[in-house]
Structure 1
């Protein structure tokens, strides 16, 4: 039986079977250090249904390139498991036996009245999830965030004051931004866009310009990844009203990244300089709203490194500052920013391999690969694939 699910996933991305095979090889090599012998013919056999249950490394590679979390989402199955299931199918009553227990008191009910303290607790949980996302990546975090987001949305039916209602909308915006980001980091761009749209609407309804800026900048990073420079700039224009200094610095460096997509070196360097000038006026980051606490000086250097890296990809020239910026971003990041450190290390290794500085490139490649064992991120997988291609050139 043809596997139309996996064929449709490839066709939606407009990849040939050979291109899909190359991406599988890159993903497996990034994860294991070994390059498999997957080619277009193997992908063809997979789509014709001749192969229904590849080995675990190949299944990992397929899940990675198509941005899914389970083998079933690829239409894959074990033939032996399917036969066993036919013989030993568990009845519905058996599957749900534990649900026959009284559920009252097991799941917490929404409060009869929503108070400011409830929002404070929700905000603290959001901060904890943000930290977990930075340590381990969106693949591990997105389902936890979505559960918290659903809970927050349920609270909109709870009686409260107009002030707390506005705060709830802002909190939903913050959670929605994180949910959209984790979906994007896991490779689910379409779902990310839907959640970001919800978050932007919630932040706007809450009348919180700082939260609108936070969500808009998150969506702008999705547009940047899709190489939509004008859409990025348009989003950033909506996000500049009544925001803290750290956020203004971030918006400037995101504009630098948008201009990098067009190869406009003058605008890139102008906005990088502006970002640094603005950030020099930040004295106590903890005085800003909590959603901006991640905008550390290390984050700024990483974003600047990204802008210069994007510029080099378009122009084919390596900006003078690029290696130093990326090196600083890698060496200054701590373990609680594992994803950012791994991505910066992978990009730095890519640049160094292209410059034939193999010893230093190997050092940073080892750093990126080591962190990839903990961080599960489609964005990181893409960076590692570029790194491995540069190493092989």
Structure 2
């Protein structure tokens, strides 16, 4: 058993596995990371934390798009994952030395790390992973699982109101805590619930990166969420994650990928037992977004029709997953308007988005209201309604200033760029001044 002050050791069976030995010998860290994930339960986000790497860099290494060649990085990987030095061509690592032989070792000069001196002495000195390993030995009770679910709901509410950047450290910490709990053998229903909670936390982390326009990191966490959901065959949740990836692809101007992801999501949902009409309606609307971005008018209209038909089938008491309850009637109406707006059908889109914003007047989802107001402003500008568009965009700007959401900020900067032909008009000048006052252009 690993000591509390040290990160958890890799299983002996992994360190003696011929494939692991060979991967370490040739420093094939793509294989090393995959083997560590499969046989030690150390997921990419944990690898990144232990080795002081970014999640996106770990993802690129695992996908064999990037290699680790610098000696200091290789040392961090060996130390973070507790790979003995000789396996990767390094000298014996300090942590390999038995406690009884450490006297001489301590006489060796040590590299100073000034940044660590600034850490208040009152803070605990245990490595975070080791601390989580200690806590994972407790047996989660039904109340613990209920508390984890409640915290996820709270995270989403706070994300809608304030943005996810400030939440991310807490969410990632809780994700790693739950992944540590999963490692221990438990009663099957408890293990199933832990996988489900971890999958939701991974998706939430991916979403916060997506909202921050950090797309590579978002994909890494979305992939982790898919893997966790796959372990318990939660096809509805896999469809949900794929729908998130589809939406991200539309933002990255990859409409072909967006359509492929949402089509896969719909396949997963149809194969799942008990998929609700609300889930199918949401997925059809994501399909409409993908087709609209591709300019497929007929396919967009068909997907919108399907979304509304599925929504009509919703009944009180449907066993909707918690993650889809946000998709209510105002959201359906707003998304319908946005899909028409993406096609350039501004006259059809404007009354829909206007109605949705009216229905959302008491909503606490500040980011959602800012997002919908941006789209209404853009649709109004498409019709040449400059004064209305600038007024609506200013309202969106006021809401966006209260939310840390680079995605919404990016939309408002996009609207500013669309004002190019009208820059000398007083209303455009006024919007530009307010934009510069509240945001950095």
Structure 1 length-normalised TM: 0.70
Q: CA deviation at 1:100?
A: 7.0
CA distance in 1 between partners of 2:373 and 2:115 (Å): 51
Higher Cα Rg, which structure: 2
Kept in 2, the 8 Å contact 1:169–1:203? The answer is: yes
Among 345, 348, 358, the residue aligned to 1:331: 358
Equivalent pairs counted in the alignment come to: 299
Aligned match of 2:279: 247
1:309 corresponds to 2:335:
no
CA distance in 2 between partners of 1:319 and 1:266 (Å): 16
Among 371, 379, 384, the residue aligned to 2:407: 379
Change in CA separation of 1:90 and 1:293 when aligned onto 2, cut-off 3 Å: same
Aligned match of 1:363: 391
1:349 corresponds to 2:381:
no
Among 257, 263, 273, the residue aligned to 2:305: 273
Change in CA separation of 1:375 and 1:99 when aligned onto 2, cut-off 3 Å: closer
Among 331, 339, 351, the residue aligned to 1:299: 331
Kept in 1, the 8 Å contact 2:291–2:297? The answer is: yes
Aligned match of 2:154: 128
| 5+ residue gaps, structure 1 | 1-88, 313-317
Aligned match of 2:188: 162
Among 152, 160, 166, the residue aligned to 2:178: 152
Aligned match of 2:121: 97
Deviating beyond 3 angstroms after TM superposition, the runs of 4 or more aligned structure 1 residues are: 89-96, 99-103
Change in CA separation of 1:101 and 1:226 when aligned onto 2, cut-off 3 Å: closer
CA distance in 2 between partners of 1:266 and 1:139 (Å): 38
CA distance in 2 between partners of 1:379 and 1:131 (Å): 17
1:31-42 equivalent positions in 2, closer than 5 A: none
Q: CA deviation at 1:392?
A: 4.1
| 5+ residue gaps, structure 2 | 1-112, 422-441
Aligned match of 2:322: 290
CA distance in 1 between partners of 2:115 and 2:247 (Å): 47
Aligned match of 1:320: 347
Aligned match of 1:256: 288
Q: CA deviation at 1:378?
A: 1.6
Change in CA separation of 1:209 and 1:343 when aligned onto 2, cut-off 3 Å: same
Kept in 2, the 8 Å contact 1:114–1:160? The answer is: no
Kept in 1, the 8 Å contact 2:263–2:287? The answer is: no
CA distance in 2 between partners of 1:125 and 1:286 (Å): 23
Q: Secondary structure at the match of 1:138?
A: coil
Kept in 2, the 8 Å contact 1:168–1:206? The answer is: no
CA distance in 2 between partners of 1:351 and 1:214 (Å): 28
Structure 2 length-normalised TM: 0.63
1:211 corresponds to 2:237:
yes
Greater relative CO (CA pairs within 8 A, separation 6+): 1
Map Cα deviations across residues 176-219 of structure 1 (whole Å, 9 max, x no partner): 11111110101110000000000001011122122112212112
1:197 corresponds to 2:197:
no
Q: CA deviation at 1:343?
A: 1.0
CA distance in 2 between partners of 1:193 and 1:91 (Å): 31
Q: Secondary structure at the match of 2:313?
A: coil
Change in CA separation of 1:231 and 1:94 when aligned onto 2, cut-off 3 Å: closer
